[in-house]
Structure 1
C-alpha cells in the first residue's frame, strides 16, 4: 500500500469524522433545547384552560366603579417605614390605613417582573412561563381579566403594560407615553405625573363630551393608573436613594389627588380604591427573584365595600396562616418602624387581588383566577360573604373540572383525582348550610372545596410527570452514551483499531434491523400519543429518546469490542481508569455544590495553588519562581468568591484596575521578549527578532485601556452630577468598545502574543461595563489562565523528558496532525469546566434573574431599551468566558490534542451535572428555591449551545495561533 493511498484513507476518515461531529453538534443543540422545555411541561404547565363559563355574583355590587393604582417597583418597607425625622413618606395613604380602609402586604410570586405581576393582579393567576419568550410584553395565550369583564376600562401609563391588557379590548380607552420617556439618567417621577395628567384631562373632557360622560357614569367601571416612576428610579438610583424615596411621596400625592378628584366628580360614594405594586426592588436596583424585597409589596384598600380599620387589643398576635398556592408560608410580623402594630394587617397573595376587585364592582372572577377572595377586606354581611366565597370557589372548581374533562377525553386510561370525586355532593351540602343560615359551616366547606380544587388543578398540571421524567432521563443517558462512543471511536487510539476491524464490527444487515425496530417503536408511541392528544413536544421527547437508544443498539458490536478491550487490559490500567472516573465525578459534584455555595472555589484555588506549586518544584526545580507565581495567582483569584454577590459601586477601583490590566500585559510581553534561548518559554512564544519587542499595536491597545479608564471616571462623575450622559461620552465609549475588539486580529500569531492581545482587547469593554471589584477579577482570572498555560508546559516537558531532545524536536516539527486523547487528557476539560464556572460565579451568582447590575450599561445608553441593555449585560458576562475558551483552544494546539474531542468531553461532563440538576428542580417551597432550581438546570442544559457559540466566536481570534517548533535552541536541555 502506497503512502498516497494511506494519506487518502486518512483524509476520508477525517472528513467522515467532521461530518459526524457536525451532525452530532446539531443533534445536541436540538436535544438540549427540547429537554430544557420539558421542565415547564413537567412542573409548570400553563394554568390557562378555555371553555368555562363565568360564575355570576348573587348579591348587589358594593361599588359602582373601581380605581386601581399600581406603583411599579414599590417595595413594602420603603412605603410603610418612617423617615429619620419621624414623618412618613406616604401621609395620605397612611391616613387611609388609620381612618378609612384596610392594609396589608401583597406577596408576589417570582418571576417578580412587571408583566407577570400585573397579570396576577388583574387576571388572578400566575404567569405562564412561556411569556418570557416574548419579553413579558405580549400575551403568549389569551386570558380573562377584570378588565375584560368590566363594562368600561380607562387605563393610562407605561407602553410596556397598558397595551397588554387594553390594546385588544373594545370597551377600553387608554393611552401610554413613548418608550423614550423612560430615561434612566433623570428623575422618572414625571412619568407618574404624566399618567395623572391623562386621567385629569379625561375627566375634564367629559364635561364637554356627553358620550364620554355617559361611559364614565356607568357601573362596573374600572380605572387603572400605572405609575412607573419608582421602578425606573429604583433601577437607575437604587431604592435607598433620595430620588426613589421622593418618588414614593409623589405616588402618595397622586393617590390623594385621584381620590379627591374622583369623589368630587362622581359624588355618590360608590367608588372603591385599590393601591398596590406589581413587585418590589432589591437593594442594588433590580428585581425578578424571590427575595422579600422583591416579593413584598404594599396593599391599601378603601372606599365603597371596604371595611374600616380594625384596632387590635394589647397583646394580640396575628394569625400566621397565609400560604401560597404551593403552601409556601409567609411571615407576617409587622416591623415596629412601620408604626402600624396596633392596626390589623391582612396579607394576601398577589393573585387574591383580582377576585377582590371583581367582587367589589359585581363582576364574575376571571375564569382562570386561582386567587382566594380576602373576605377581611370586604364590608359584607355574613350571607353575602358566603355567597362571594362560594362564587370564587366555584370558579376555581370549574377550572379543575375542565382540566379533568380534557384529560379524560384524551387518555386511554384515565386516572381521576379521587378527593373531588363527590364534588357535587359537597356543593349540595354547602347550599343546605346556606339555606339553614349555618354560615360558619358553609365557609369551612367552601374553603375545603377551594383547597381541594387547587390541589386537583395541580394534579392535572403534573398528570404526565412520571412518563416525562422517565423519558427525559433516558434521553440524557442515551445522548451521553452516544457522545462517549463518538469520542472513543474518533478521538482515541481506538479509532485505528476501529478502522482495522470495521469489517468485524459493522454488519449492515444487523444495523438495518435495529433501525427498522426503532422506527416501528417510534410509530407505535407516536400513535398512542396522537390518540391521547398529547402536545407536539411530547412526541419530540419520546422520538428523540427512542432515536438515541436505537443508535446505541445499532453499535452493539462496537460496544462489545470496547468491553473486550477493557476486559483484556492490565488490572492497573483499569484501576487507573476507575480512579480517574471517580475523581472526575467528585469534581463534577463539587461544581454542582458550587451553584449553592460559591465559597467552595476559594478553598479549591487555595488547595490547587499549593498542589500545583509543589508539582512544579518537584518535577522542574529550576522553575521555582513560576511555581510561586502560580501559587500567588490561584490564591489571588480565591479572594473573589468571598466577595458579596451584590457588587458595590467603586468607580476608583475600576479606574485602578485599568492600570492593573496594563501591568499584567507588560509582564506578559516581557516574558515574551526575554524568551530567546529558553526552550520552555519557546513552547508559548514565536521568535521573529526582526519585529519590535513592543510593537505599535501593543501601545495602541494599552492606550485604549487607559482611555477606557478615563471614560469610566468621566462618564460616571458627569452622570452623577448632571443626571444625564453627554452624547460625546456615549460616542467615545462605543468607539473604544468597537475598536478594541478588532485590534487583536492584527497581533502576532505566537500563542502568548495573541493571548496577551486578546486580553488587552477585551479589557476596555469590560472596564466600561464594570462598576466595582469585578474589574479586578478580570485581571486575576487572566493571571490564573497564564498559570494554567505554564503548568501544561511543565507537564509537556516532564512527559517528554525521557525522550532525547532530537526526537522531541523531530516530533514537534514533523507532527502535522493532532494526536489522540488519552486518559491523562481528561485534566484539560476538567480544568476548563472549573475555570469556566469560576468565570461564571467569580463576581456573583449570575444564576439568579435579579443578579444583573443594570447601572453598568449607563456609560453606553440611558434611554430605556431592554434588548440593547440586555445585550450589553450578557456581553459583559461573556468576556471572562471568552478568555477561558481562548486559552483552552490555544492549549489544545500547544498539546496537539483534538479540540473537538475536548469539547465533547466538556459537554459529556456538563450533562452529568445537568442530570443532577434535573432531579433538583422543584415546584414547591419558597419561590426563590424554585426559581434557582430551574435556572441551574437551564444554565447547564444550555451549555452545549452556549459553549459551542463561544467556540465559534473565539475561533476568530485563535484559529491562526502557532506554537513554537523549537528550531532555535533545539539542543538546550529541557
Structure 2
C-alpha cells in the first residue's frame, strides 16, 4: 500500500500538468474550427480594383461620428417627439438615410471600430493585447484616404492613426485620467469637437493645415466616448445617459454647420453611428440586441434622400420584416412605434458594411480584408456608378476568397474546391458584358449574387478543416478521460494490487507501444508539415496521439479491470448503474442550467423537501440539522429567480453585513458550546479559545461592520458629489487587503478556520457589491455550512456504528480509499460551483460583469485593474466552495486530489457536450453564449486547480479534532 501511495504522489503532478496543457490547447481549437481570422497574412490579392468608381466620386471628404456605447433604441426613442428640435431626427426625415447597424460580439470598442473602419470582424488574437494595439496590422479606410483627422479616446484613436505614415494623419487624444466614471463624461465629446474647431481656426493662418483640409479623400473622425462612460456609470436609462444622447445630437449639428460654413461646397458626406450598444445594467460585450443594435444615420454628398412609405407600403414593410435585405443573423422586425419613424424606409446593415459605404463615397478601394457588402440603397448614384461600385465591392471580397482558395490548394494534399465558384471568371465576364451593354440592372444583380457566393466560399475555407479538427479534439478528450479513470482507479481505490501489476502487460510491451506512438506522431506531423498547417494543428494531433498511446500502454490493465468488474455481485452492478445514471442526470442538469439558471431554484426547493427526509431516515432524531438544511436550501433557491441585471440596492448591501455578522456569531457559539456526542465532534477543538482567537474574531467582525458603513458612506458621497474621495478609496483598499490576510492567523479547527475565511472575504465582497448579491454571499455560506454538517453527521453515524473503529476517531492520519458512494462529493461540489457561477447573474455572458461594482475602489478608467477587481469578486464564492470541499475531504478522510480528478472528469463530460453545441450560425447572442459555455467548462480544470492552490494556503493546516468513543457511545 505504501508503494502505491508513493506512486500516486509522484504521478498526480504529472496528470495535472498534462490536463492543464490539454485543456489550454484544446480550448484554442474553437477559433480554428469556427472563427479563423479574416486577415490574409502574406501574399497579395489576385484581383486589384483601383477604386470603387471610375468617374468623379460623390464626396471630397467624409465625416465619421462614432458615439461609443450608444444603443439604437435609446437613440431613436430620444429622437422621437416631443424632441422636435433634434438635429439628427430632422436629417432622417428630410436629408438622409437611416437604419440599425448590427454589430457582432464581442461588442467592445475596439472590435466595433475595426469593423466600421476596416470592414472585418476583429482578429481573436487581439484579446491578448487587451484590444488596444494591433496584433496584426490591417488595411482600413483611413489607410486609403489622403489624410485622416481624428480626435477622441486614447483607447481608440491611436489604434488607427498611430501606424499611418508621417504626414497622413492629424490626431490627438485626451489623457486617460479624463475617463472618470464618477463624473458626467459628456465633456469628453465636447473635447473632441473643440479640438477640431481649433484645427479649423488654425488653418486660417497656417497654409499647410489649410492645404490638408482642402484636399480630396479627406476623413474626419470624431470619437465620442461620453455615452459609453455614462452608460457604465449611470445605466442607459439614466437622465445623465439620455442627456448625453442630446449632447451627441448637438455635436453632430454643430459639426455639420461648421463644415458647411468652412468649405461651402456641398461635397461633404456624414456618417453617424456607434460601435456597440449598452445593456440595461450598464455593460456590453455579448450578443444581446441591446449591445449589437446601434444607430446609423447618413447624409450629405452622395447620400440618398429619405423614402417615405405609403400606408400600404408600411404594412408590406412590416409584413416582410425586412424591406432591405437579410442582415447576417438578424431579421429586424417592424420599427417600434415609439421611434415614430415607421413612415420612413429603414435600411439595416451589418456593421462591416459601413466601411465599403465610406470607401465608395470617397472613391477609394475597399479595405483589403473587408467582408462588408455595399449598402447601395444609401447611395445617390446613377445606375452606371452603382453597377461599378457594387462590382468593385464584389471583386474585393472575391479577392479574399481566391487568396484563401489559392493558399489552401497550395498546401492541401487532397484539395476540395468550393464548387459554386469554380466558374467565377465566366460570371465576372458576364457582369462586364452587361455593363458594356449598359444593362446595369443585370450587372448589379449578378454582382450581388457573386458577392454572396464569395462570402459563402470565404466562410467555407475558414471552416475547411472542421470535420478533421472536431474528430481529433473529440478523440483527445475521450483519451484524456480514460487516462484519468485509470489514474483514479489505480491510485485512489481499493481494487486488488494484482491489477496494478498487470498495467505493464508483457515485458517490453510499453517500449513497443511508445515506439509505435512516436512513429504515428512523426507521420502525422509530417503530413501537417506538408499541408503547411498552423502550429496548433500539430499540438492537437500530438496531444491526442500521446493520450491514446498511454491508453494502449495500459491496455492489459484495462482488460483486467473489466474482468474484475464482471466478478462483482449483481447488487454491486446495480449500485454502479444507479450511480452512473445519477451522475449523468446531474451533469445534464448542469448543462441545461447554463441556458436557464432558474433550474437551480427548483433544485434547491427539491433539496429542501427531500434532504431533511433522507437525513432523518439515515440519522434518526437529528431534527436541528434537518430544519437547518430545509431553511438554508429554500433561502438560496430564490436568488436564481432574481434578474441577472442586478439593481442597485445599497441599503441591502449594508443590511447584508448584519446577516454575515449574525452567521459568524452563530458558528462561533457552536464552536465554543459544542457537544462531544454530536456530529460537530469533528468541527471544534477540545481546548477553550484563547484571548488571541477571541480578539481575531472580534477584529474580523469589526472589519465587516466597517465595510458595511463604508458602502453607505462611499456611495452616498459619490451620488451627491459625483466623485470618490481619496480617503474613502484608501480605507476601502485597506479594509479589503487586511481582511483577506487575517484568516491565516485563526485557529485550525474546522469551524474556526472556515468562519474566519467567511469573515475574511466578506469585506471585499461587500465593498464590491451593489445589490442582492451581498445577501447571496450569506445564503451561500449557510448552504455550504449545511453541506459540511451533513457530511459530518453521516461520517459520525458511520464511525459510531462501526465496531471496527473503536478508539481514536481520526487519530490515524492515513486517508482511506475512495468508494463508489464518495462520488456524491464531486457531484455536489459541481452543483454548488455552478451556483457560484450563476447565483447572481449569467457568468457565461461578457456583459454580466457589473463595472459599477468597482466604483468604491476606483473610478478612473483602468480596464485591467477594473477587470481584476471584478474577477476577484466573482472568485470569492468559488473560494468558499473549495474551502468547504477541502474541509469535507479531511472530515471523511478521503484524498482531496483524487476527488479533484473526478471533478475534472465530470467537467470534461460537460465540456464534450458543450463542444458539440458550439455554433457559428443563428443570432449573435446564441453564438456568443455557445462559445462562452465551452470556454468556461474547458478552462475549469485550470480554473479549479488555481483556486485549489489559493485556498490551500487557508486550509492546509485545518485539523480534525481528536475524539475518543467509549464502548457505551458505540
TM-score, structure 2 normalization? 0.97
Partners of 1:103 and 1:540 lie apart in 2 by 48
- Deviations 1:744-793, CA, capped at 9 Å, x for gaps: 11111111111111111111111111111111111111111111111112
Is the Cα–Cα contact under 8 Å of residues 122 and 353 in structure 1 kept in the other structure? Answer: yes
| Aligned residue number for residue 399 of structure 2 | 398
Is the Cα–Cα contact under 8 Å of residues 679 and 970 in structure 1 kept in the other structure? Answer: no
Asked if residue 281 in structure 1 is aligned to residue 282 in structure 2, the reply is: no
Q: What secondary structure does 1:272 align onto?
A: strand
Q: What secondary structure does 1:725 align onto?
A: coil
Asked if residue 93 in structure 1 is aligned to residue 95 in structure 2, the reply is: no
| Cα shift at 1:216 | 1.3
| Cα shift at 1:694 | 7.1
Partners of 1:241 and 1:372 lie apart in 2 by 36
Asked if residue 125 in structure 1 is aligned to residue 120 in structure 2, the reply is: yes
- Deviations 1:271-292, CA, capped at 9 Å, x for gaps: 1111111111111111111112
Is the Cα–Cα contact under 8 Å of residues 326 and 924 in structure 1 kept in the other structure? Answer: no
- Deviations 1:846-905, CA, capped at 9 Å, x for gaps: 110101111010000000010110011001100000000000001101110000000000
| Aligned residue number for residue 320 of structure 1 | 321
Partners of 1:323 and 1:22 lie apart in 2 by 59
Is the Cα–Cα contact under 8 Å of residues 79 and 89 in structure 2 kept in the other structure? Answer: no
Asked if residue 829 in structure 1 is aligned to residue 820 in structure 2, the reply is: no
The counterpart of 1:29, out of the listed 16, 20, 30, is: 20
Is the Cα–Cα contact under 8 Å of residues 882 and 948 in structure 2 kept in the other structure? Answer: yes
Partners of 2:498 and 2:606 lie apart in 1 by 40
Question: Which shifted more, 298-307 or 791-800?
Answer: 791-800
| Aligned residue number for residue 704 of structure 1 | 703
Q: How does 1:850-865 map to 2 (within 5 A)?
A: 850-865=847-862
Listed as ranges, the gaps of 5+ residues in structure 2 are: none
| Aligned residue number for residue 139 of structure 2 | 144
Partners of 1:428 and 1:847 lie apart in 2 by 49
Q: How does 1:288-299 map to 2 (within 5 A)?
A: 288-299=285-296
Q: What secondary structure does 1:105 align onto?
A: strand
Is the Cα–Cα contact under 8 Å of residues 79 and 86 in structure 2 kept in the other structure? Answer: no
Question: Which shifted more, 424-433 or 862-871?
Answer: 424-433
Partners of 2:71 and 2:479 lie apart in 1 by 47
Is the Cα–Cα contact under 8 Å of residues 499 and 561 in structure 2 kept in the other structure? Answer: no
| Cα shift at 1:83 | 7.7
| Cα shift at 1:255 | 1.1
Name the CA shift for 1:324/1:815 in 2 (closer, same or farther; >3 Å).
Answer: farther
Is the Cα–Cα contact under 8 Å of residues 310 and 344 in structure 1 kept in the other structure? Answer: yes
Question: Which shifted more, 354-363 or 200-209?
Answer: 200-209
Q: What secondary structure does 2:313 align onto?
A: coil
Name the CA shift for 1:944/1:322 in 2 (closer, same or farther; >3 Å).
Answer: farther
Q: How does 1:585-604 map to 2 (within 5 A)?
A: 585-604=584-603
Q: What secondary structure does 1:621 align onto?
A: coil
| Cα shift at 1:248 | 1.1
Is the Cα–Cα contact under 8 Å of residues 106 and 349 in structure 1 kept in the other structure? Answer: yes
- Deviations 1:77-121, CA, capped at 9 Å, x for gaps: 221114898225x71111111222111111111111101110111
Partners of 1:755 and 1:316 lie apart in 2 by 68
Partners of 1:83 and 1:533 lie apart in 2 by 54
Question: Which shifted more, 932-941 or 595-604?
Answer: 595-604
| Cα shift at 1:322 | 7.2
Question: Which shifted more, 524-533 or 575-584?
Answer: 575-584
Name the CA shift for 1:324/1:963 in 2 (closer, same or farther; >3 Å).
Answer: farther
Asked if residue 657 in structure 1 is aligned to residue 656 in structure 2, the reply is: yes
- Deviations 1:182-227, CA, capped at 9 Å, x for gaps: 0000011111111111111111112222122111111111111101
Q: What secondary structure does 2:565 align onto?
A: helix
Partners of 1:946 and 1:206 lie apart in 2 by 57
- Deviations 1:473-513, CA, capped at 9 Å, x for gaps: 000000000111000000111274445x35x8444410000
| Cα shift at 1:814 | 4.4
| Aligned residue number for residue 72 of structure 2 | 76
Question: Which shifted more, 390-399 or 669-678?
Answer: 669-678
Partners of 1:816 and 1:667 lie apart in 2 by 30
| Cα shift at 1:812 | 2.5
Q: What secondary structure does 1:494 align onto?
A: coil
| Cα shift at 1:664 | 0.6
| Aligned residue number for residue 382 of structure 1 | 383
Partners of 1:812 and 1:624 lie apart in 2 by 24
Q: What secondary structure does 1:827 align onto?
A: helix
| Cα shift at 1:808 | 2.7
| Cα shift at 1:798 | 2.8
Is the Cα–Cα contact under 8 Å of residues 679 and 972 in structure 1 kept in the other structure? Answer: no
Q: How does 1:547-696 map to 2 (within 5 A)?
A: 547-689=546-688, 691=690, 695-696=694-695
| Aligned residue number for residue 743 of structure 2 | 744
| Aligned residue number for residue 522 of structure 2 | 523
| Cα shift at 1:174 | 0.9
Partners of 2:868 and 2:371 lie apart in 1 by 35
Q: What secondary structure does 2:98 align onto?
A: strand
| Aligned residue number for residue 883 of structure 1 | 880
Partners of 2:107 and 2:79 lie apart in 1 by 26
Is the Cα–Cα contact under 8 Å of residues 124 and 371 in structure 1 kept in the other structure? Answer: yes
Is the Cα–Cα contact under 8 Å of residues 693 and 747 in structure 2 kept in the other structure? Answer: no
| Aligned residue number for residue 370 of structure 1 | 371
Asked if residue 19 in structure 1 is aligned to residue 10 in structure 2, the reply is: yes
- Deviations 1:7-54, CA, capped at 9 Å, x for gaps: xx82x5434322211111111111101111000000001111151254
Question: Which shifted more, 433-442 or 857-866?
Answer: 433-442
Name the CA shift for 1:928/1:872 in 2 (closer, same or farther; >3 Å).
Answer: same
Partners of 1:166 and 1:971 lie apart in 2 by 83
Is the Cα–Cα contact under 8 Å of residues 749 and 962 in structure 1 kept in the other structure? Answer: yes
Question: Which shifted more, 828-837 or 574-583?
Answer: 574-583
Partners of 1:697 and 1:272 lie apart in 2 by 68
What's the Cα RMSD here?
A: 1.7
Partners of 2:96 and 2:322 lie apart in 1 by 22
Count of aligned residue pairs for this structure pair: 959
| Cα shift at 1:673 | 1.4
Is the Cα–Cα contact under 8 Å of residues 669 and 694 in structure 1 kept in the other structure? Answer: no
TM-score, structure 1 normalization? 0.96
| Aligned residue number for residue 940 of structure 2 | 943
Q: What secondary structure does 2:170 align onto?
A: strand
Partners of 1:214 and 1:437 lie apart in 2 by 39
Partners of 1:105 and 1:938 lie apart in 2 by 30
Is the Cα–Cα contact under 8 Å of residues 640 and 843 in structure 1 kept in the other structure? Answer: yes
